[in-house]
């Protein structure tokens, strides 16, 4: 709650600074003003007027900042609705980060079906990621009636690429993955001639803005970064429209 109070104080300061301006600028004008002020390597994707008096949303990739209509002040933090308790900034970021699940190249993922497989998720994992192993050993092991598409997203070390190729080139990829992530049993060394989608998956993860593993995507296009417990996953799956 301390963070929300800080956000409210910051917003009050921002809004007060905007009083007295004459003609409201367009969002394109604000974009042209704010972009060079944020630094040489910062690209502003869009500027949108918000329903919060005096604030404009500045979208940079998968993140957002706020500014005033003069592009003089920048607010980096969360906006809360203190009546409902909703984190409006978090909700907006989640909306921005949504993908079209059907656009995922599922042929480049390891498919594992549990129970009737009626619910679907895609998980980006690195074979050397400790949190990914914990997710496999607990949450995903305990969750039933789900189809899991695993994209081996090698961002931790060169060794991750080697392990992923060996697993991809195994006769039973799903078993080889679980053997390693759950049981610690490495896959047999792959033949030199065996091709893996490692580079394509790496490019995909970067395009989706995935900076850490694990990252879980749901059928409605929403995502949850990091390892979560079984209860959280079940609640999310139950709320997600297939």
**The model's pTM:** 0.78
CATH superfamily of 101-239: Glutaredoxin (3.40.30.10)
The pLDDT of residue 139 is 98
The pLDDT of residue 241 is 61
Nearest Cα residue to 143 out of 112, 99, 189, 175: 112
List phi, psi (to 5°) of 83. Answer: -80, -45
Token reading at 200: 């394509």
User: Coil, helix or strand for 77?
Assistant: coil
Number of helices (H), then strands (E), in the chain: 9, 9
The pLDDT of residue 12 is 44
CATH class of the domain defined by 2-96: alpha beta
* Averaged confidence pLDDT in the chain: 90
The pLDDT of residue 11 is 46
| Burial (Cβ within 10 Å: 0-12, 13-18, ≥19) of residue 228 | middle
Which stretches in the chain have pLDDT values below 50? 1-21
User: Residue ranges of the domains in the chain?
Assistant: 2-96, 101-239
Instruction: List Cα–Cα distances, 215 to 90, 126, 205, 218, 225, in angstroms.
Output: 17, 10, 10, 10, 4
The pLDDT of residue 24 is 80
The pLDDT of residue 18 is 45
The pLDDT of residue 62 is 83
């Amino acid at each position: 709650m301390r963070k929300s109070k800080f956000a409210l104080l910051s917003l009050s300061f921002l809004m007060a600074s905007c009083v007295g301006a004459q003609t409201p600028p367009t969002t394109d004008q604000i974009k042209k003003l704010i972009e060079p002020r944020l630094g040489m390597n910062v690209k502003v994707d869009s500027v949108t007027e918000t329903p919060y008096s005096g604030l404009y949303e500045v979208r940079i990739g998968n993140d957002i900042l706020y500014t005033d209509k003069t592009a003089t002040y920048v607010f980096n933090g969360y906006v809360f609705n203190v009546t409902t308790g909703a984190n409006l900034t978090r909700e907006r970021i989640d909306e921005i980060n949504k993908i079209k699940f059907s656009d995922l190249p599922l042929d480049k993922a390891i498919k594992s079906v549990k129970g009737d497989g009626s619910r679907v998720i895609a998980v980006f994992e690195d074979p050397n990621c400790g949190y990914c192993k914990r997710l496999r050993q607990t949450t995903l092991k305990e969750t039933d009636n789900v189809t899991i598409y695993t994209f081996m997203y090698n961002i931790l070390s060169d060794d991750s690429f080697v392990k992923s190729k060996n697993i991809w080139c195994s006769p039973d990829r799903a078993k080889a993955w679980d053997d390693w992530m759950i049981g610690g049993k490495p896959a047999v060394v792959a033949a030199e001639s065996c091709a893996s989608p490692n580079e394509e998956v790496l490019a995909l993860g970067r395009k989706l803005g995935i900076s850490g593993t694990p990252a879980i995507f749901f059928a409605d296009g929403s995502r949850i970064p990091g390892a979560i417990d079984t209860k959280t996953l079940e609640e999310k799956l139950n709320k997600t429209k297939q």
